[in-house]
């Protein structure tokens, strides 16, 4: 149960129609019906009933609606108090994949903010499913999710089901990242046989909506890779690549200064057009702020500055 459920209840009660309420909430009717049923399952009783006059609250539903309206009114009062303090405060929140070009853009973005104002900045690196959860629950205003292009169908339908807006950030070819001293760095062109002789560093929490883990692993790049190290944050991955002989990792293209800082190089892998997508997401009713758009511009600037491979 969250505040979105409460908004749904109040809108349905106000319009007396699932169809009209869905239109007003900018969502489709099946998703709204599903959300209402989920709420009713959670509280253990029916909130609405169908009559000749349309959808009306049950007796118990009227009690829930009274509480819902009060809670939403209190939230609006809290927002009003919060807004009075926002004139001299910059707020920004982003849940994103463990991607070096995104973290680099974020650093540049923060460095350019007005340092005379108060700052409330939240930046979390995690997997796509956690990011979707963070945005749906309102913990973060913006999210960026990453998925293989061949998994796009599952993610797009999942985002629609969750009532989220989404926009493409970048479609890119996966790169193989390794130490400058790796044997892979000395080969003419990298083959799967070359990779299978090395240790692959992998983010260990990749998930795809409605797809079992076995199916995800089956579609991964190194299908026959038997030596892997699973990590869950970017710091250790760079240390591993730099210090562990002949280790490598599939990544999005890195900025040149990060490659130089960690003594790494990036090269094209054995499969041409192995495509990935980064997609920005936010709640349907959320309006991008000037600060949000400034960050998106920074992302685009970093993308344009990345070295050709």
Q: Is 29 helix (H, G, I), strand (E, B) or coil?
A: helix
Q: Residue 81 has what pLDDT?
A: 63
Q: Residue 222 has what pLDDT?
A: 44
Q: Is 141 helix (H, G, I), strand (E, B) or coil?
A: coil
Q: Which residues does residue 250 pair with via DSSP β-bridges, in sequence order? A: 176
* Domain range 173-276, its CATH number among 2.60.40.420, 3.40.228.10, 3.40.190.10, 3.40.50.300: 3.40.190.10
Between CA 108 and CA 268 the distance in angstroms is 27
Q: Residue 228: what are its φ and ψ, rounded to 5°?
A: -135, 150
Same fold, 3-83 and 173-276: no
Between CA 131 and CA 282 the distance in angstroms is 10
C-beta separation of 125 from 233 below 8 A: yes
Average pLDDT over residues 21-35: 87
The residue among 168 and 71 whose pLDDT is bigger is 168
| Domain spans of the chain, in order of start | 3-83, 88-171+278-305, 173-276
**Using N-to-C axis directions, what is the helix angle for 3-15 and 29-43, rounded to 10°?**
110
Say whether pLDDT at 17 is over 70: yes
Say whether pLDDT at 199 is over 90: yes
Between CA 198 and CA 222 the distance in angstroms is 11
At 247-258, the pLDDT tens digits run 999 999 999 989
Question: What percent of the chain shows pLDDT beyond 70?
Answer: 90
Q: Residue 188 has what pLDDT?
A: 80
For the ranges 27-36, 65-74, 277-286, the maximum mean pLDDT occurs at 277-286
CA 102 to chain centre: 12
Average pLDDT over residues 125-139: 92
The residue among 251 and 232 whose pLDDT is bigger is 251
pTM of the model: 0.69
We find that the CATH architecture of domain 88-171+278-305 is: 3-Layer(aba) Sandwich (3.40)
> At 204, is the pLDDT very low, low, confident or very high (cuts 50, 70, 90)?
confident
Average pLDDT over residues 189-208: 85
- Sheet strands side by side (includes 275-283): 118-125, 89-96, 142-148, 275-283, 164-173
Write the secondary structure of 294-307 as one string of H (helix), E (strand) and C (coil): HHHHHHHHHHHHCC
Average pLDDT over residues 290-306: 95
Between CA 309 and CA 139 the distance in angstroms is 37
Q: Residue 282 has what pLDDT?
A: 96
At 137-186, the pLDDT tens digits run 889 999 999 999 988 999 999 999 888 999 999 999 999 999 999 988 88
Domain 3-83 falls in which CATH fold? Arc Repressor Mutant, subunit A (1.10.10)
Average pLDDT over residues 68-88: 73
**54-57 vs 89-96, strand pairing mode:** unpaired
At 279-292, the pLDDT tens digits run 999 998 899 999 99
């Amino acid at each position: 149960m969250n505040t979105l459920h409460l908004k749904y209840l109040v809108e349905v009660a106000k319009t007396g129609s699932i169809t009209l309420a869905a239109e007003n909430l900018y969502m489709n009717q099946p998703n709204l019906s599903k959300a209402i049923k989920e709420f009713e399952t959670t509280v253990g009783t029916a909130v609405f009933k169908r009559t000749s006059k349309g959808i009306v609250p049950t007796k118990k539903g009227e009690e829930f609606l009274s509480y819902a309206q009060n809670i939403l009114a209190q939230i609006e009062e809290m927002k009003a108090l919060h807004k009075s303090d926002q004139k001299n405060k910059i707020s920004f929140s982003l849940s994103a994949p463990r991607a070096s070009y995104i973290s680099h853009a974020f650093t540049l973005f923060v460095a350019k903010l007005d340092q005379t104002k108060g700052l409330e900045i939240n930046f979390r690196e995690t997997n796509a499913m956690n990011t979707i959860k963070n945005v749906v629950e309102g913990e973060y205003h913006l999210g960026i999710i990453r998925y293989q292009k061949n998994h796009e169908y599952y993610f797009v339908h999942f985002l629609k089901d969750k009532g989220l807006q989404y926009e493409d950030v970048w479609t890119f070819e996966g790169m193989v990242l390794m130490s400058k001293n790796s044997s892979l760095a000395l080969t003419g062109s990298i083959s799967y046989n070359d990779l299978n002789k090395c240790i692959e560093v992998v983010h260990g929490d990749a998930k795809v909506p409605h797809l079992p883990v076995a199916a995800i692993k089956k579609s991964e790049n190194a299908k026959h890779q038997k030596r892997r190290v699973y990590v869950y944050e970017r710091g250790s991955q760079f240390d591993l690549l730099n210090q562990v002989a002949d280790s490598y990792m599939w990544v999005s293209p890195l900025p040149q200064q990060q490659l130089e800082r960690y003594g790494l190089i990036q090269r094209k892998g054995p499969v041409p057009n192995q495509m990935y997508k980064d997609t920005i997401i936010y709640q349907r009713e959320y309006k991008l702020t000037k600060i949000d758009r400034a960050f998106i511009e920074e992302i685009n600037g970093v993308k344009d500055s990345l070295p050709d491979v």
